[in-house]
Structure 1
Amino acid sequence: MSAFMQQIINGLSIGSVYALMAVGYSLVYSIMNFSNFAHGGVIMLGSYFGFFLLTLYELPFVPAFALAAIGAGALALVIERIAYRPLRKRSAPFLYFIISAMGASIFLENIVIATIGPTFKTYPRILSPQPFTFGSLSIGRLDMMMFIISGISLTLLVYIIEKTKIGMAIRATAYNMRASALMGVNTDKIIFIVFGLGGFLGGIAGVLFGMKYTVYPQIGFITIKSFIAAVFGGLGSLQGAVIGSVLLGIIETLTSGYLSSQYRDLIAFALLIFILIVRPMGLMGKMTEDKA
């Protein structure tokens, strides 16, 4: 039983980071009606920002962490203005947005390979490797930090969405962009804010993931897991993205613990296929049309 609980704890840790990544997908999808695959590049560069701020500039962890998240948010805004805004102004089909997102993702990955290099980089040790112990259970200090920071970030996001005027405008725009614009909502500003929030959370996730594992140009591939989690929970639903991420993290750790780590990705993609066949809208999503 203790081994099972240990796997659950590990799953909650990685699932919380998946949740930070997944809400970025869900935020953009709820407004723009397409899956922002360039989000992986934002997370990857957020991880690099944190690494270089800690090693090259030797900043303390807290300002380095904050600047990396802000830098990722700024990058997301630049991508929105360059890759997506011109398409929105021309009312381009959703397929064009997906192609543009894929192009931006490939561009970011390759420019990192060309400038920084393809080698793996390891974050300096920030916390003591000595875990917290609770009877037969142990929780790594980094895992605890990942869970706490993710929880605080997601709680603040929910507060912004549910309790502020900006959040009300985001919810209205997500429900019907045209009607919101007719009611006086600056939808262009709302899209700008949504991309900034998604990029900021993606930067946090990138730093935490880089600290847990390593930093490399293809780290954006891991965001496919967060996309799976977002689809599992329901694209466009923040609650669904969080629940789907946590469940995916637990499923992966249980698979690694009781079967083999080689089956972890297999199970994740099999879950995606199963959800798309049985319940395409996800656990908490709503069936909509013309979304990709």
Structure 2
Amino acid sequence: MNSFLQQIINGLSIGSVYALMAVGYSLVYSIMNFSNFAHGGVIMIGAYIGFFLMTILNLPFFISFLLAGVGTAILAVSVEKVAYSPLRKRNAPFLYFIISAMGASIFLENIVVATIGPTFRTYPAVFSSTPINIGGISIGRLDLTMFIISAISLSILIYIIEKTKTGMAIRATSYSIKASTLMGVDTNRIIFIVFALGGFLAGIAGVLFGMKYTVYPQIGFITMKSFIAAVFGGLGSLPGAVIGSILLGIIETLTSGYISSQYRDLIAFALLIFVLVVKPTGIMGKSTEDKA
């Protein structure tokens, strides 16, 4: 039983970071009707920003991960202005947005390889490696920190979406961008805010992910699992993205603990195929015809 509970706790830790990444996919999808594959590149940049702030500038962890979030928020907004805004103004088909997003992701990855290099980098030890033992269950201090930071960040995001006027405008725009424009909502401002929020959470997730594992240019591909989690929970649904991420994290850790770590990625992508075939809208997603 202790072994099972240990795997659940480990799954909650990594699943909470997946959730930070997945809500970025869901936010953009709910407003702009396409999957922002450049989000993985933004997460990767966030991991590098946090790493260099902590190693070269020797800034404290808390300041570093906040500045990484600010940096990736600016980057996410910049990607929207350069890669997506011109397409929005021309009312381009959604396929063009997806192609542009993939191009932006490849660009971000290759510019890091060309300027920083492909070398794997490891964050300095911030938290003690001595775990917290509770009833025979070990909880890593980094894992606990990841879960707490993710929970607080997601709670603030949900509060913004559900309890503020800006959140009301985001929800209205996600329902119908054309109707929201007719009702006086500045949809360009809403899109700016959505990308900024998603980018900020991507930066935080990138730092936490880099601290848990390592930092390298191809991190963006690994973070595609957060997209799987978003699809599993239901693209466009923030609660769905969180639930899908937690479930995916638990499934991965149980697979690693009881079968083999070699099957962890296989199970994740098999789950994506299964969901797309059986229930394309995911657990909490809405059925739509024009979103892709």
> TM-score band (shorter)?
over 0.9
Rounded Cα–Cα distance in structure 1 between residues aligned with 2:55 and 2:261 = 31
SS in 1 for 2:133: strand
Structure 2 counterpart of 1:73, one-letter code: A
Q: What does 1:123-202 align with in structure 2 at a 5 Å threshold?
A: 123-202=123-202
1:93-134 deviation line (CA, Å, top 9, x unaligned): 000000000000000000000000001000000011011110
Rounded Cα–Cα distance in structure 2 between residues aligned with 1:223 and 1:60 = 25
The Cα of 1:60 is off from its aligned counterpart by 1.4
What are the ranges of 5 or more consecutive residues in structure 1 without an aligned counterpart? none
Work out the percentage of aligned pairs sharing the same amino acid. Answer: 78
- What count of residue pairs does the alignment treat as equivalent? 292
TM-score when scaled to structure 1? 0.99
Structure 2 counterpart of 1:285, one-letter code: G
1:126-176 deviation line (CA, Å, top 9, x unaligned): 011011110110100000000000000000000000000000000000001
The Cα of 1:22 is off from its aligned counterpart by 0.2
SS in 2 for 1:133: strand
Rounded Cα–Cα distance in structure 2 between residues aligned with 1:246 and 1:271 = 14
Aligned to 2:91: 91
Structure 2 counterpart of 1:127, one-letter code: F
- Two-structure CA RMSD over aligned residues (Å): 0.5
Q: What does 1:131-280 align with in structure 2 at a 5 Å threshold?
A: 131-280=131-280
The Cα of 1:187 is off from its aligned counterpart by 0.2
Rounded Cα–Cα distance in structure 2 between residues aligned with 1:213 and 1:273 = 26
Q: What does 1:28-107 align with in structure 2 at a 5 Å threshold?
A: 28-107=28-107
Rounded Cα–Cα distance in structure 2 between residues aligned with 1:117 and 1:99 = 26
Aligned to 1:282: 282
Rounded Cα–Cα distance in structure 1 between residues aligned with 2:224 and 2:2 = 31
Rounded Cα–Cα distance in structure 2 between residues aligned with 1:136 and 1:94 = 52
- After superposing on structure 2, the runs of 4+ consecutive aligned residues of structure 1 that deviate more than 3 Å are none
Structure 1 counterpart of 2:82, one-letter code: I
1:33-91 deviation line (CA, Å, top 9, x unaligned): 00000000000000000000000111111111110110011100000000000000000
TM-score when scaled to structure 2? 0.99
What are the ranges of 5 or more consecutive residues in structure 2 without an aligned counterpart? none
Rounded Cα–Cα distance in structure 2 between residues aligned with 1:231 and 1:60 = 35
Structure 2 counterpart of 1:100, one-letter code: S
The Cα of 1:290 is off from its aligned counterpart by 1.4
Rounded Cα–Cα distance in structure 2 between residues aligned with 1:169 and 1:88 = 19
Aligned to 2:113: 113
